[in-house]
Structure 1
Amino acid sequence: MTTFIVEAVTKSFTNGEVDEHILKGINLSLHEGEITALVGASGSGKSTILTIAAGLQRASGGRIIFEGKNMTEMRQEELRRIRASEFGFVFQSSHLVPFLTVEEQLILMLEVSETKMRKREQKKEVQKILQMVGMDHRKTAYPASLSGGERQRVAIARAIIHKPKVLFADEPTASLDSKRSKDVMELIRDLTKSLNITTLMVTHDEEMLPFADRIITMKDGLIL
């Protein structure tokens, strides 16, 4: 099933007296249970299309259709609600809150996403997700005591705890060594399949591409 449709999306801005065209009419469909990888040189526009699809910035033209709804016509508050409840995010850095334990990180996400759960239900759900990512034994640990790979696993758990329909991953393995990168990508692949998530990933690491279902190469604001 198609979750996302990116239709003729453009992005430009004015730099002094020069118009800079970052995206030049991107068409893209994203499907449930699939990882779509965007690759290309720095400046090709791959991260820009991810942030526009995620509602983190506006397109200059074109449409973003999510489950039949045109996100380009939505107000900021409606976009915020969709990002909080329907989307999950994983970035190069884990961005964990330093003074919260692993368990508290995930409970905070449940509250932000407005998931209607009682405290006892929250703890059960957190335990379940932490078991899925192999971090249930570290639920009382703080980020400073975790390895880079462990922090990224917690970040992934936080991104899926509220059962999002779409996962946006922007260079999720860039700060990890080769072994931990593969471990993280195996986890993202397994969760994408088991939870039927639509995953859009930006990466420059060719070793991560075998984990993707589709690979889309961008150059100079266009899909090759």
Structure 2
Amino acid sequence: MIFSTSNIKKSFTTGEVSEEILKGVDLSLAEGEITALVGSSGSGKSTLLTIAAGLQPASGGEIQFDGEEMSAMNQEQIRKIRAQSFGFVFQSAHLVPFLTAEEQLLLMLETAGSPLTKKQRREEAENILGWVGMGHRKTAYPASMSGGEKQRIAIARAIVHQPKLLFADEPTASLDSTKSHEVMELLQKLTKTLNIATLMVTHEEDMLAYADRVITMKDGRLA
């Protein structure tokens, strides 16, 4: 397992009231697998994903990534791991409106501190765009793209720097059924081909067929 959490807890305090969102969660992720996290609203699944991705701290517990103790790291160390080793796909593509498809990926490579030369970065960006079926749209801007095209570009951006973990939060929620299946087929292909560990939060039962494991959360615990 490349990633694991042990007894992860998360509480929020408002005034004198404290609410426990996560109540001791143990989760492991394996390379080459899609793990789907499901549960009703308020079950804690999105909170667990953001803690696992280093986007917010846990109140207690440990997180191990690639043999290192993430929960013992400072914010700069965690930021570096996020930039270099994690990829993110959200419900909305969140593309930069004034950048072309190719430029979206080049920006990601720059953010990740890629050791590639400028020429190599362009070649890699073109290669990944081809992988996701968007090579013909490399000079297109987000305003001219369909929802499915935007999400494909978002996926390409998430994996162009060859991350070890991919976090997908409701990646098909804004798409119709046909586009949803296309996006999930793509995520499945990339997870297997690139040997990525993918953690996906979803409400859509149809998408669970693409997962290697399905984990249900209820009341802050894995059911």
User: What's the TM-score bracket when you normalise by the shorter of the two chains?
Assistant: over 0.9
2:106 matched to 1:116? Answer: no
Shift of 1:221: 0.3
2:17 matched to 1:18? Answer: yes
Q: TM-score, normalised by structure 2?
A: 0.99
Matches within 5 A, 1:123-202: 123-202=122-201
SS at match of 2:25: strand
Shift of 1:100: 0.3
2:60 matched to 1:55? Answer: no
Shift of 1:39: 0.1
Gaps of 5+ in 1: none
Work out the CA distance in 2 between the residues paired with 1:100 and 1:14: 40
Work out the CA distance in 2 between the residues paired with 1:141 and 1:87: 26
Work out the CA distance in 1 between the residues paired with 2:170 and 2:80: 24
Q: TM-score, normalised by structure 1?
A: 0.99
Work out the CA distance in 1 between the residues paired with 2:214 and 2:21: 20
**Superposed CA offset, 1:53-110 (max 9, x none):** 1000000000010011111110000001000000000000000000000010000100
Work out the CA distance in 1 between the residues paired with 2:184 and 2:37: 15
Q: Which moved more, 1:118-127 or 1:164-173?
A: 118-127
Length, aligned pairs only:
223
SS at match of 2:2: strand
Task: State the AA in 2 paired with 1:16.
Answer: G
Work out the CA distance in 2 between the residues paired with 1:157 and 1:130: 6
Gaps of 5+ in 2: none
Work out the CA distance in 1 between the residues paired with 2:157 and 2:151: 10
Match of 2:211 in 1: 212
Identity %: 67
Q: Give the superposed CA RMSD.
A: 0.5
Shift of 1:16: 2.1
Shift of 1:116: 1.0
Work out the CA distance in 2 between the residues paired with 1:165 and 1:14: 34
Work out the CA distance in 1 between the residues paired with 2:13 and 2:94: 31
